[in-house]
Amino acid sequence: MSPPHPGCSAIRPLPASGARSTSAALAGVFFCGDRMDNLMVQTSLSSREAMTDRRPLLRAIFDAAVAAAHPDVVLAPYLRPVPKGNVICLAAGKGAAAMARAAEQHYLDALELDPARLVGIATTRHGHGVPTRRIKVIEAGHPMPDAAGLKGAEDTLRLAAQAKADDLLLVLLSGGGSANWIAPAEGVSFAQKQQVTRALLRSGAPIGEINTVRKHLSRIKGGRLARAGQRAEIVTLAISDVPHDDPSAIASGPTVPDPTTLADARLIVAKYGLKLDDAVHRALNDANNESCKAGDSAFARAQFELIARPRASLEAAIRVARDAGYAIVDLGADLEGEARDVAADHAKLALKARAERQRVAILSGGELTVTVRGSGRGGPNQEYALALAALLKDTSGISALAADTDGADGGGGSASDPAGAVIDQTTFAKIASLGLDPMAYLDNNDATAFFAATGDLLQTGPTLTNVNDIRVILVDGE
């Protein structure tokens, strides 16, 4: 097994031994020295000796999920042959720069394409850029769009419109693309588009509903990028970060038909009581802002393929947990819901397993939400972990990790934002010794401050991919 890119090292594969092997190397995981906090590069676990410390295993489970979706691993098999014309690469999302670099390696190195025939723009989250040779990298705001994303989207639309019939328009998408590509509809200002994003993020709406509104206030989302570049062959390769892998929801579907409508967007605004400017309401009532539908000529030469799915990453995580000797409770890769409510359901499962002296790993993916009512800081994974801590603090033998596979859970858009949090007996001891009230922090949506106090924030740095969240609860009932 070779590392996915320079600066990374690979851990050797797990042996195909029984579930109760006395020690097993945590493996199949790539650790990136220039991007990730590798406190647990290689760990041998004894089911007896390490009974009270599950953090190395929790981290290895998370890293396995991330590694399964890294662009250097998943992209190349899907890249098309060299076209008669140029390769025009347009990328967006947290994995955009890494995907662009992998595309460069394929075309320039493996296929020896003349560098002059490869151009492009990759718009990614601040801190997620990597060095490239021909494809320009723009670092932009996420989750709140910024001026860099505005310019990146305009340049992207301009380059797409220049594509010719013999060109390959290679569109590389990953989670975060909706915020990175910001091109407000006619009559809607950049500030008003930011207002919409802020209101949607605070509302607790699931990502599908958020993107429905976004698509109807945009000149690039909802199939409009395909309309701009329709003279060329369009190939979209995407890393899915949405429940059920809906192509029209990934980066708000810039190159695929959109099944949602302006009427759907208006209903969502009403459902959450969003207070928006009159210009936004006018735009949502303007038929010119309807997204592109199936049968539109924009899709005559367009193809779409998923190259990485949350389900595959969850399965990679499951393999590590199973090989460490845990029975598996697989809750699926598409969970949605309020973070604290989902945590309450999962806590019940963990407490039941503990009472029955079971040794199980409860794993799930998907994308949870937080309805913001307080003034604190956090993200869905941290809030989930905080709710778990409040419910499990009087129980031994249970540890958990909840984190976003992109390396940033909520936060303020910085590369140093935490990926999530870990809880175990040391967390519960800190709650007691510091006199912390988890419910008070939860009521204020202040999970980041809580876990900063206990020392349990998970800091990975940018992972250069995004396949939603990974949540793991380990129950040692023996």
Reported as a single tens digit per residue, the pLDDT across 57-113 is: 999 999 999 999 999 999 999 999 999 999 999 999 999 999 999 999 999 999 999
CATH class of 77-308: alpha beta
pTM over 0.85: yes
> Is it the case that residue 346 has pLDDT exceeding 70?
yes
Reported as a single tens digit per residue, the pLDDT across 361-398 is: 999 999 999 999 999 999 999 999 999 999 999 999 99
d(CA 355, CA 477): 7
Query: Radius of gyration (Cα) for the chain, nearest Å?
Result: 22
User: Which CATH code fits 310-476?
Assistant: 3.40.1480.10
Residue 420 has a pLDDT of 98
Q: Would the CA dihedral through 457, 459, 462, 464 be positive or negative?
A: negative
Average pLDDT, the chain: 90
| Amino acid (1-letter code) at residue 218 | S
Q: Which helix (H) or strand (E) holds 325?
A: none
Residue 26 has a pLDDT of 30
Same fold, 77-308 and 310-476: no
Structure-model confidence comparison of residues 52 and 37, the more confident one? 52
> Is it the case that residue 9 has pLDDT exceeding 50?
no
Question: Which residues are CB-neighbours of 169 under 8 A, at least 6 positions away?
Answer: 88, 90, 160, 163, 229, 232, 233, 234, 235
Residue 218 has a pLDDT of 98
Residue 31 has a pLDDT of 32
3-state secondary structure of 363: strand
Name the band, by pLDDT with cuts 50, 70 and 90, for residue 25: very low
Per-residue pLDDT, averaged over 258-264, amounts to: 98
Q: What is the DSSP letter of 245?
A: G
Reported as a single tens digit per residue, the pLDDT across 287-329 is: 999 999 999 999 999 999 999 999 999 999 999 999 999 999 9
- Ordered by start, the domain boundaries in the chain are 77-308, 310-476
3-state secondary structure of 376: coil
Structure-model confidence comparison of residues 438 and 32, the more confident one? 438
Name the band, by pLDDT with cuts 50, 70 and 90, for residue 52: low
**Number of neighbours of residue 431 by Cβ within 10 angstroms:** 20
How does DSSP assign 408-459, residue by residue? --SSSS-TTS--EEEESHHHHHHHHHHT--HHHHHHTT-HHHHHHHHT-EE-
Q: Are 381 and 451 in contact (CB under 8 A)?
A: no
Tell me the H-state helices in 204-362. 207-215, 224-228, 262-271, 278-283, 310-323, 339-355
> Is it the case that residue 1 has pLDDT exceeding 50?
no
**Number of neighbours of residue 203 by Cβ within 10 angstroms:** 20
Q: What is the DSSP letter of 12?
A: P
In this structure, the strands spanning 135-140 and 118-125 are parallel
d(CA 48, CA 275): 56
Question: Which residues are CB-neighbours of 214 under 8 A, at least 6 positions away?
Answer: 178, 196, 197, 200, 221, 252
> Is it the case that residue 49 has pLDDT exceeding 80?
no
**Number of neighbours of residue 330 by Cβ within 10 angstroms:** 15
> Is it the case that residue 21 has pLDDT exceeding 90?
no
